Amino acid sequence: MQFFLEVLIGGLLSGIMYSLVALGFVLIFKASGVLNFAQGAMVFFAALSLVGCMEKGAPFWLAFILAFLIMTLLGIATEKFVLRKMVNQPPIALFMATIGLSFFIEGLAPMLWGNAVRPLDIGIVDEPIPWILDHWNMVISKFDLFASGLALALVTLLALFFQYTRVGRALRAVADDHQAALSIGIPLQHIWALVWAVAGFVALVAGMLWGARNGVQFALTFTALKALPVLILGGFTSVPGAIVGGLIIGATEKLAEIYIPPLMADIFGGNFGGIEGWFPYVMALLFLLVRPEGLFGEKHIDRV
Amino acid sequence: MIYRETGQFKTDYAADQQIFPIRQDRVGIGILLLLAFIVVPLAAGNYWFNAILIPFLIFALAALGLNILTGYAGQLSLGSAAFMAVGAYAAYNFQVRIEGMPVLVSFILAGLTAAGVGILFGLPSLRIKGFYLAVATLAAQFFIVWCLTKFPYLSNNSASGVISVPNVEILGFTFDTPQSRYLLVLTIVSLLALAAKNMVRSTTGRAWMAVRDMDVAAEVIGIRLMHTKLLAFAVSSFYCGVAGALYAFCYLGSVEPDGFSLDLSFKILFMIIVGGVGSILGSFLGAAFILLVPIFLDIALPWLSALFHLPFDNATVSHIQLMVFGALIMFFLIVEPHGLARLWQIGKEKLRLWPFPH
């Protein structure tokens, strides 16, 4: 039981990290209807820029701001050179363009900052909290707790922003219908640039946390692959969905990784580790068969 | 003038229904096939066969498979490499486990196995579409590669899942030179390409395109969605499966599950984007293009950096390669969404009018 709880909590906490990346997807999907496959590459680029600026001698806060500026520029450039020219094309073409974008960024980032694996120190150590260890004998990392706190704050902020500000309202309008939004005077291009900047910011926070945990390296691009099942589960358009989806995926993935391989080994013999890689996908897939729009997604009705 | 159709009258149904109704096309294809079957085997060296021609044909076949699914039936898939893996491993197992199994039959069975797996992973397409489906096909990608690594039975109990295939032998003739393997691959690919060309202009192909263009409307006019979509998945996976079997048997000789990674899937996707989504010719053009770009960069980049006295190492080449690939994809999607095949069409239009611009 103790062990189960520990795995569960560890899973939930790492799920929050997935949510962070998923959040970037949701933001862009909400505001432009584009599933941005390059989000993982953006996480990588953001983390690399942060570390790169720090290596050049900038203090953490300055490096953070610089990295944010770089991400904003990247977002604006994407809007200007790619998305703007692809207005009116089918969403799936836009999706393929973002796959291209992710390759481009994956090449560009190490060209600018070098491709060595680098540690990132944000001042919080990845060690168990002594109080919990003493009282409940459970290993819960300080870092995980900090990361989840940050993620929750970010999500709350974004949810409020979407719900209650003028810009947030404009964003939702754009997501509903580009043309209608344009015709009532919402500046589409500004909105898109803004959304990409915000997505860049989320990528930066995600990259900072992931990078501080695992080192800043190319593997950060795979965070996108972790976030996709989260999206499916939570629905592409829902900020809370990203969180709930992340928690579910994180928890089940870790539990499955612990409990299923021994079962399979009993039946087939051999080592069946590493089901983390596909389990979330298969789970999300099965879920889709029951509820195609995800947990919090909008119900889509086909009309002829 | 060069490409003038005037005077080519169709006087019977057979003439009207042939694959290439224009004489120039027929002649062109004839010359191309002659070149491919007779001149190239005589002229090309081993490097050409091993590094360019054989992979080109195999990737073209895989791209053809994906193009049937994505270009014609409109179902985006990011798992084509996984279906190639299924084909490769299935062909290997049929060869190893069944005594005296003819290679060609095991290729076909491998394709059928891949088709079965394709149908399985195509099932979600009945309820979901677009992005959701694209993400769902990732499940196939990760699950299949994992399975091949973890179940030793599938790789005949080899450690880490690497398989080394036996030599291809058909009717007592062993295909052990690059030249003979090239001819084998070329024959299979030509036949399958011909089949695909015919398929997409048949009832099946038109049903696919109807589903692609608007599935609700297609359903309304009486096309069975489930049947059509699953058939597209099956046929597409069949092609990918055969491509995978050829990849293992005629190109690499020994493969490992991790070779069929997501990157390979993306590469095949890029081939159809660059070549032309929804075009048989495009699959070939795209495969050639995506295959040649890295080779070109490998040659051009050191030369360029020497010219400008820039520091240079291999890591940079791979980064530049990624950037070029990414930029190319975006460029094609923006400027020419129908790919290289469309350029060829435009070229034909120009040739029709030549030498007069109007």
Answer whether B334 sits within 8 Å of A236, measured CB to CB: no
B149 interaction partners in chain A (CB closer than 8 Å): 274
- For residue A225, the chain B residues in CB contact (below 8 A) are 138, 262
- The whole-number average pLDDT for the span A231-235 is 85
pLDDT tens readout for residues A273-284: 778 888 888 888
Contact (CB<8Å) B320/A107: yes
Q: Which residues of A touch B324 (CB under 8 A)?
A: 107
User: What's the pLDDT tens digit per position in B118-155?
Assistant: 999 888 888 777 777 888 888 889 999 988 888 878 87
> CA nearest B64: which of B258, B227, B232?
B232
- Taking an 8 Å cut-off on Cβ atoms, the answer to whether A86 and B329 are in contact is no
The pLDDT score that the predictor gives to residue A303 is 62
Q: Is the pLDDT of residue B247 over 90?
A: yes
Over residues B246-260, the mean pLDDT reads 89
H, E, C per residue of A94-114: HHHHHHHHHHHHHHHHHHHHC
CB contact under 8 A, B76 and A275: no
Contacts of B316 in chain A (CB under 8 A): 111
Q: Which of B240, B19, B30, B18 has its CA nearest to residue B114?
A: B240
Residue A299 has pLDDT above 80, yes or no: no
- A142 burial (CB, 10 Å; 0-12 / 13-18 / 19+) is middle
Integer Cα distance of A87 and A224 in angstroms: 24
Q: Which of A159-168, B182-191, B316-325 has the highest mean pLDDT?
A: B182-191
What pLDDT is attached to residue B183?
A: 92
Q: Which two tokens stand for residue A249?
A: 């995926």
Chains A & B: contacts with CB separation below 8 Å:
134
Q: Which of A100, A278, A281 sits opposite B333 (nearest CB)?
A: A100
Nearest-angstrom CA–CA distance, A77 and A105: 12
Which pLDDT does position B208 carry in this prediction? 94
Rounded Cα distance between A124 and A201, Å, is: 20
Question: Could you tell me the pTM of the whole model?
Answer: 0.90
Per-residue pLDDT band at A5 (split at 50, 70, 90): confident
Report the residue of B66, B67, B133, B135 to disrupt the A interface, i.e. the one with the largest count of A CBs within 10 Å: B135
What pLDDT does residue B358 have? 66
Q: What is the 3-state secondary structure (H, E, C) of B272-337?
A: HHHHCCCCHHHHHHHHHHHHHHHHHHHHHHHHHHHHCCCCCCHHHHHHHHHHHHHHHHHHHHHHCC
Tell me whether residues A284 and B135 touch, CB distance under 8 A: yes
Query: Residue A94 corresponds to which amino acid?
Result: L
3-state helix, strand, coil in chain B (%, to 5): 75, 5, 20
Average pLDDT, chain B: 88
The predicted structure's pLDDT at residue B241: 95
Q: How far is A277 from chain B (nearest CA, A)?
A: 7
Q: Cα distance from A280 to chain B (closest Cα, Å)?
A: 8
Asked if B320's CB is within 8 angstroms of A275's CB, the reply is no
A111's tokens: 């060209």
Residue scoring higher pLDDT (A99 or B352): A99
Residue of B147, B126, B233, B137 lying closest to A281 (CA atoms) = B137
Q: Which of B226, B328, B210, B315 is nearest to B271 (CA)?
A: B328
Task: For chain A, give the mean pLDDT.
Answer: 83
Tokens standing for residue B234:
């099956």
**The predicted structure's pLDDT at residue B253:** 84
Residue B21 reports pLDDT greater than 70: yes
Contacts of A103 in chain B (CB under 8 A): 266, 322-323, 325-326, 329
Interchain proximity B329–A92, CB inside 8 Å: no
CB A22 within 8 Å of CB A234: yes
Q: Which residue of A has its CA nearest to B141?
A: A278
Question: Mind listing the pLDDT tens digit for each residue in A175-227?
Answer: 777 778 888 888 888 888 888 888 888 899 988 888 888 888 888 888 888 88
Backbone angles phi, psi at B255, to 5 degrees: -130, 160
Query: What pLDDT, on the 0 to 100 scale, is given for residue A302?
Result: 63
pLDDT of A73: 92
Answer yes or no: do B319 and A96 touch at CB < 8 A.
Answer: no
Q: Which residues of B touch A298 (CB under 8 A)?
A: none
Quick: pLDDT tens for A48-84.
999 988 888 888 889 999 999 999 999 888 888 888 8
Give the model's confidence band at B96: pLDDT under 50 very low, under 70 low, under 90 confident, else very high. Answer: confident
Residues of A in contact with B333 (CB under 8 A): 86, 89, 93, 96-97, 100
List the single residue in A86, A271, A272 with the smallest CB-CB distance to B334: A86
Query: In this complex, do B333 and A270 lie within 8 Å of one another by their Cβ atoms?
Result: no
Residue with the bigger pLDDT between A36 and A296: it is A36
- Taking the C-alpha atoms of residue B101 and residue B331, their distance in angstroms, rounded to an integer, is 47
Q: Pick the residue from chain B with its C-alpha nearest to A101.
A: B326
Rounded CA separation B198/B350 (Å): 27
**What is the tens place of the pLDDT at every residue in B207-243?**
999 999 988 899 899 999 889 999 999 999 999 999 9
CA B231-B232-B238 angle, to 5 degrees, is: 85
Candidates A100, A102, A281; nearest CB to B139: A281
- Rg over alpha carbons for chain A, rounded to the nearest Å, is 20
Q: To which residue do tokens 């199994």 refer?
A: B101
